[in-house]
């Protein structure tokens, strides 16, 4: 393989169940379909990106747990090159995860620079890929900090609820902390409003906005790029088959177009918007 740019993107939110893994896997599918070499790094002990790409976590020789151990002082592990697997999808590789990754942070007492572990793990393979997509757990600690330090670009899937505003603020606070403590700045921040439902006939009649629409219009007023992904049964069906939607069906769908648009955005971002440059207001 030749030398690549190796752009890393973290799919992150401190809030759980907002669609991080689903967005990561589906965007990866469209990037790979367009001929990009893509690595999905499953950095979540739940291993959902692993199964979402058709890999059985019970049959793994090595996983991100072993790659993590390779960076823990006093433990031996393996380099990520031994962890990475091909998937059934052309151009798409996975660094799979298993549940014991969850205990890895407890083994770090003698390790220096604990938040730079993922960055160090990825360094040797960065040049082999056009895109490295990191599926981050809904964790507010070590996994999140490591993921943010390994990238300058994040995609934040949110659900259409009031708590989502809080989670956005929390994430921005983390980013601010990274700038302050490590001099590392997240330069592009893309929001994905996930699982939106269209306005009900009742609310149309009463000309009231439903919560999804209300949140969408509030998000549009901000400077961050916002993409809307509709609810779709295709998510369930494709995950059942261990495939991204791009490879599950050739039929055009609203949700497929939404993920393809996010993939296009990630390929186009070159003039980063600088965020956050001031302390959050809480
Ligand atoms: N647009 C969508 N349409 C239908 N179902 C969806 C959609 N997005 C996500 N889901 C479903 O919602 C659930 C949560 O999604 P997902 O696992 O991607 O969230 P997550 O943020 O990665 O969760 P976690 O915090 O546990 O890692 C899953 O069952 C997924 O299949
Ligand atoms: Mg997930």
Q: How far apart are the CA of 279 and the centre of ligand 1, in A?
A: 31
- Helices and strands per DSSP (H, E), number in the chain: 12, 8
pLDDT for the residue 175: 87
pLDDT in tens, 135-144: 999 987 899 9
Counting residues of the chain whose pLDDT is more than 90, the rounded percentage is 66
Confidence class for position 275, pLDDT limits 50, 70, 90:
very low
pLDDT for the residue 278: 47
Cβ-based neighbour number of residue 161 at 10 Å: 15
Q: How far apart are the CA of 147 and the centre of ligand 1, in A?
A: 19
How far is it, in rounded angstroms, from Cα 49 to Cα 43? 9
**Which of 268, 198, 269, 255 has its CA nearest to residue 227?**
255
Q: How far apart are the CA of 235 and the centre of ligand 1, in A?
A: 8
Is 34 a residue whose pLDDT tops 60? yes
If one looks up domain 7-267 in CATH, what number appears? Answer: 3.40.50.300
The answer to whether the CB of 231 is under 6 A from ligand 1 is yes
Segment 75-91 shows an average pLDDT of: 96
Is 126 a residue whose pLDDT tops 60? yes
Q: Which atom of ligand 1 is nearest to the CA of 231?
A: 3
pLDDT for the residue 215: 80
Confidence class for position 221, pLDDT limits 50, 70, 90:
confident
Q: Nearest 10 degrees: CA dihedral of 99, 105, 107, 110? A: 160
């Amino acid at each position: 393989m030749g030398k690549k740019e190796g752009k890393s993107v973290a799919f992150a939110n401190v809030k759980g169940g907002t669609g991080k893994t689903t967005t990561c896997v589906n965007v990866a599918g469209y990037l790979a379909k367009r001929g990009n070499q893509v690595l999905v790094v499953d950095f979540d002990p739940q291993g959902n990106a692993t199964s979402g790409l058709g890999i059985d976590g019970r049959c793994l020789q090595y996983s991100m747990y072993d790659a993590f151990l390779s960076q823990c002082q006093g433990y031996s592990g393996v380099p990520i090159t031994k962890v990475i697997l091909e998937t059934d999808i052309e151009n798409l590789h996975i660094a799979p995860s298993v549940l014991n990754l969850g205990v890895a942070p407890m083994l770090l007492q003698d390790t220096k620079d604990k938040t730079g572990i993922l960055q160090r793990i990825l360094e040797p393979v960065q040049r082999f890929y056009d895109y490295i997509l990191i599926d981050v757990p809904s964790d507010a600690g070590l996994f999140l900090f490591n993921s943010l330090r390994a990238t300058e670009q994040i995609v934040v899937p949110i659900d259409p609820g009031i708590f989502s505003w809080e989670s956005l603020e929390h994430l921005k606070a983390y980013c601010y902390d990274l700038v302050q403590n490590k001099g590392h700045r997240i330069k592009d921040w893309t929001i994905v409003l996930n699982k939106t439902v269209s306005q009900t006939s009742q609310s149309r009649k009463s000309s009231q906005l439903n919560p999804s629409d209300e949140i969408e219009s509030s998000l549009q007023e901000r400077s961050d790029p916002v993409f809307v992904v509709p609810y779709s049964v295709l998510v369930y069906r494709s995950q059942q088959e261990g495939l991204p939607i791009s490879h599950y069906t050739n039929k055009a769908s609203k949700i497929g177009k939404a993920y393809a648009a996010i993939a296009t955005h990630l390929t186009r971002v070159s003039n980063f918007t600088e965020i956050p440059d001031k302390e959050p207001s809480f």
